[in-house]
Structure 1
């Protein structure tokens, strides 16, 4: 029922170079090393501990404020999510100004103010600087925390967590952090629905009072203003911020492994694998190796299509549309090296082999002159362009204060990058890009990829494979397919489904069905009206806040689609497809279809499911125990990438002798929403006029 929902709902989510005669066989001569001027900050400290850095720049008539609270990372325990919720509630007005009035005044001045639990940012024309500073200080020092706003933000956060459970990318990110750092580490701790719902308004207020404090806070004021005037304004509005410091917490080290291993997480709905080779690394921005690590990483996988990883996995083999690497420094704990890609299921094992090959290559083979020259030029080009952004220059100034960097760190940055040699690249690759004690984290469809992953060798030995759930907890090897009892076929599964919802006679007696449902997406109300008849008539109307945004009508012979006022007649194959699905229970028609195949029995969310392939792109799942239809999945390729849309059915209730799902969840990628039926009627309330 309602396979058509997949197609309709999916619609809701939804420099040219000049030619020149150049001798490309010769490398162009390097020009003089450019210089940058970040400005000399004038620094002072308020009595409450807030450190202020002021950089004068009269290029444009605007001023920006960047506030960073440099507290050590910390865990949140059974209230994980309180930091995110506090951040979401910051900026919702103040104790004296309503949220709407606050935002309207900021908009009127053409300014911007953003606040979070870790700081904030504001920008305005010079003439409005004092008022914007006053508003920013009021929002930071006197935030407006209310139960209504907290409830809204909790719902948004929980909805995001639920959507993320079906996202291989989000599961991979969570598991990777848990395995590298540990679930009790600030970088490995994750949010759950239970921990978010446990957060109270009192928790938010306490978190704010504990961590939003000025002792470790740094503010950069930059732009078209004299330091003397800026100092006076900052003192006036931020001087009342109560002096306090956050708890001084010791952050534990990451968890290193003794040998390279594959850590696998099964995601039965994944159409591609999430692959990462990860290791903790001891790297600080102040380290002498840091510039060389930046260049080495740029060559390996940080530099776009020309990188080793992309040239191999994308260009040479076509395994992925992009493979990248990163090497992060961290002032509190260990940083992390990571090489990653989204890989087609069929070549997941091959991609692992090639990724390890490229990591080995940069560790053991000197890079060529052109590669290192290009890496330096492109990296420095990006660096110099970034210095034009006030937020970037503010971050640089704060980095010097918070990361134990010398005062001339960024002034000498270009020369230190240019000083990196081929020998440096190979040396730091051997030190910071581990090959023999790394985790190869793979999240994908185990029934298709695990068998070959278990055969991969490194240095002549098979790489051991360990198995984890979606939260990084070790488990036994998953069982992907159970034996199908003799005599069970796709048709017998369909017959059992018909029996489960009421039987052939009850289903045959359904001449029409009408359903009304509601869903909420990011605070917006979606409405669903769905009507079908045994005469192959079909109506589906989707509304947003009461206004139709998508309507499809079929009268049994012809029909149309109406979207945003544009009408398009159904033609050709579309008519055939709609007609086959227009009947109240399209599964009845499948009994006469010899092309459908029972593929397997798979465990999904702890329940065994019959998996029936309707075509190469359409799959339907039936609960082995109840016989009810649970899910439909459709895959399609767009712009070279494979996407899966799923429709999940639940909360079956009996209506006029037939069981109907009152919950219909639609998801595409990480996005998901649920229609809850408010009214279902059978054999009444439907007429031929509905399908005109």
Structure 2
């Protein structure tokens, strides 16, 4: 009762306070906040390195940002040499081992990292001198070794392989290839071959050619004194040999003559990636720069944008839809994108174009523009407090040739933008009549509906090469569920060997974000299943599933969900090492046709909530697709099976890839048949 009284009193107080506020005049908004970025003190070394120092004594910290502003360049057949060079810088120096270097950085509580175009270091100001020395030594005296090169190559190649099944990764690659061209610096992409083409000598030559001081800038921000820093910088960087990088030029890419859909077929895609893209030339010094930035914010730049409110909030087709544009002294691009369900891919394209027409032809309201300005300015003011932001602004002022007071007048420039200027910028930079709508998705489910939009459509492979429209193969009339199952059973060992299997125990290992995952699966022909996924380093079980004659449940993060009714019957029917044996004469199991899975033609069998794919040539099961509920959303989980090996006369997959938000690859270390399984395992 006491709590109720307190609650009612609070509500009454809140109501009367709000009423009183409504009854009296509202205060007028105060003046826009004053922005003081901090004017850097500058000097230039004889080798060309330009140094900017911003003293800030609020905290006993300092940061050093070394950036080399070279013109973009293409790497050709050795695409990856720049990435590999950046990865190897900082792996120790010719006088300090990698281990000793990292230990000293850790001891000071500092942070130092490098890239192919510079480096960054931060730490307590009392260690400023030594942090600067280590930054300089790491950048100017790198120790390139074959051992480290081989490690970094393996990491890059593994990243390429894991990304090949990602719709988003493929979409990003194709989008750049089509927008810029394969020979343009912004259109090139990594391949396993191009990475393997890179030698240690290539890395050394690349470093000597491009890691030079002519276009280099060092921005120092923090609790330091200019004269002291100047002396230390001169001492550390005076040995950097004066040189300039090649200043290559490329033809500016042209947009298409008319808006079109560029479709990439990924038969394994459980959703489509829709991207609207056109190239733009927008410099930060352009008169309409701020109008273009605000037009983008209104169209798709933040949560309340036209695009997100339509595709996410109104229709629930995506978790988020965004657009982006930025100022650059080189040609860049305007993009708008969303990941949507296959069934609404065509509708998403139509709605995207609808919102694009709206921002280009209808004036935004004064209130919307005012709100967008306020949110944008609020974010700008918060960011200005960060040293890395100050460093970026100081660097952009130099490299983009901005007026000295550009950022001091930033808020004023934003507030000066009118509704007419927003619409004019949208018309200029969001090219509704000369853009590509890049769609990456499952052709058999998406293409027929996209064709009904009457938008011209062309087809490309995963590397941006134009191809013919994907054609769905027709199966022979003799193909049935039974023939597919028979071929599968024969492929893995035959019905005699399969019938002798009573239990199967599988142990596999994978990794996620650097953490080792262990996957244990046990199944019985009695219709029982036990699955455990563990993080052994943390002693944590992250997923547990049990199915037996009485019950079924899934336990994740301490939450247990019991599976009952029809769902229990369904999952119970699949709790068998070879549940395909029960497909025959089951009316809910049907053969639906032929589809490609990772460029392999496969027969497709559909069950109540899953689809199974069997290689037409080998008969082996190569993939499965299952529907799973996550809140109000239904998502599809793909599993891929490969590297079949024989155990006691039956073949089992020793490689299992799972795609459910993020790719997981498990390598099977052990398969035990008719041993290591008891009834207690399924409880």
Give 1:405's aligned residue.
402
1:139-198 deviation line (CA, Å, top 9, x unaligned)? 111223333332232222222211211111111111111111001111010111221233
CA contact (8 A) 1:561 1:567 kept: no
- In structure 1, the partner of 2:589 is 596
Cα deviation per residue 1:222-281 (whole Å; 9 max; x = unaligned)? 111110111111112222222222111113312311111111111222222211111111
Residue 264 (structure 1) aligns with: 263
Q: 2:627 aligns with which of 632, 635, 638?
A: 635
Distance 1:323 1:634 in 2: 25
Deviations 1:446-501 (A, max 9, x none): 22221121122xxxxx321111111111011111x322332433233222211222
1:319 pairs, out of 317, 320, 324, with: 317
Partner of 1:145: 144
Q: Tell me whether 1:645 sits opposite 2:644 in the alignment.
A: no
Distance in 2 between residues matched to 1:671 and 1:317, nearest whole Å: 27
**Deviation string, structure 1 residues 105-140 (Cα, Å, up to 9, x no partner):** 222222211211121211111111111111111111
Aligned-partner Cα distance in 2 for 1:281–1:651 = 46
Looking at structure 1, the residues matched to 256 and 441 of structure 2 have their Cα atoms a distance apart, in angstroms, of 22
> 1: CA distance between counterparts of 2:61 and 2:23?
44
Query: Matched residues in 2 for 1:61 and 1:679: separation?
Result: 55
Is 1:606 the counterpart of 2:602? The answer is no
1: distance between equivalents of 2:300 and 2:554? 45
**What SS class does the counterpart of residue 274 from structure 1 fall into?**
strand
2:663 matches 1:668: no
For residues 231-310 of structure 1, the aligned pairs below 5 Å read 231-305=230-304, 307-310=305-308
Secondary structure at the aligned position of 2:479 is classed as coil
Compared with structure 1, are the counterparts of its residues 376 and 523 closer, same or farther at alpha carbon in structure 2 (3 Å cutoff)?
Answer: closer
Superposed, which structure 2 residues align to 1:509-520 within 5 Å? 509-519=500-510
The structure-2 alpha-carbon separation of the partners of 1:24 and 1:419, relative to structure 1 and needing over 3 Å to count, comes to farther
Describe the SS at the equivalent of 1:441.
strand
TM-score calculated relative to the size of structure 2: 0.90
In structure 1, the residue matched to 2:41 is 42
Give the structure 2 partner of residue 230 of structure 1: 229
Aligned residue number for residue 502 of structure 1: 493
* Structure 1 equivalent of residue 388 of structure 2: 391
Task: Tell me: CA distance 1:690–1:303, structure 2 relative to 1, closer, same or farther (3 Å).
Answer: closer
Distance 1:515 1:548, change over 3 A: farther
Q: CA–CA distance in 1 between the matches of 2:25 and 2:210? A: 57
Once structures 1 and 2 are overlaid, which stretch shifts more, 556-565 or 192-201?
556-565
Distance in 1 separating the partners of 2:369 and 2:24: 17
Judge conservation of contact 1:610–1:622 (CA < 8 Å) in 2: yes
User: Structure 2: which 5+ residue stretches go unaligned?
Assistant: 1-13
The question of 1:99 aligning with 2:79 is answered no
CA distance in 1, matches of 2:82, 2:120: 18
Aligned residue runs from structure 1 range 220-619, under 5 A: 220-305=219-304, 307-332=305-330, 334-456=331-453, 462-479=454-471, 481-519=472-510, 525-536=516-527, 538=529, 549-550=540-541, 557=549, 572=564, 580-591=573-584, 593-616=586-609, 618-619=610-611
CA shift for structure 1 position 553: 8.3
**Pairwise CA distance, 1:25:** 14
- Aligned residue for 1:448, secondary structure, equals helix
User: For each residue in 1:366-412, what CA deviation from the matched residue of structure 2 results, as whole angstroms up to 9, or x when unmatched?
Assistant: 22111111122111111111110110111111111111212121122
C-alpha change, 1:607 and 1:71, in structure 2 (3 Å) is same
User: Residue 56 and residue 684 in structure 1: after superposition, are their counterparts in 2 closer, same or farther (change >3 A)?
Assistant: closer
Measured on the aligned residues, the alpha-carbon RMSD in Å equals 3.0
Within a 5 Å distance, the mapping from 1:198-237 to structure 2 comes to: 198-237=197-236
Q: TM-score normalised to the size of structure 1? A: 0.89
- Structure 1 equivalent of residue 11 of structure 2: none
Q: Determine if contact 1:527/1:546 at 8 Å carries over to the other structure.
A: no
Task: State how 1:172-191 maps to structure 2 within 5 Å.
Answer: 172-191=171-190
Structure 1 CA distance for aligned equivalents of residues 473 and 153 of structure 2: 39
Name the residue aligned to 1:11: none
Mapped contact 2:554–2:562 kept (Cα < 8 A): no
**Aligned to 1:304, what secondary structure does the other structure show?**
coil
Confirm or deny: 8 A CA contact 1:261 1:465 kept in the other structure: yes
Q: Aligned partners of 1:623, 1:383: CA distance in 2, in Å? A: 55
**Relative to 1, partners in 2 of residues 1:25 and 1:465: Cα closer, same or farther, differing over 3 Å?**
farther
- In structure 1, runs of 5+ residues without a counterpart are 1-17, 457-461
Q: Give the drift of 1:548.
A: 6.3
Mapped partners of 2:49, 2:495: distance in 1:
75
Q: Any conservation in 2 of the 1:514–1:530 contact (CA below 8 Å)? A: yes
What is the aligned residue count? 665
Structure 2 CA distance for aligned equivalents of residues 612 and 27 of structure 1: 66
Q: Distance in 2 between matches of 1:85 and 1:581?
A: 47
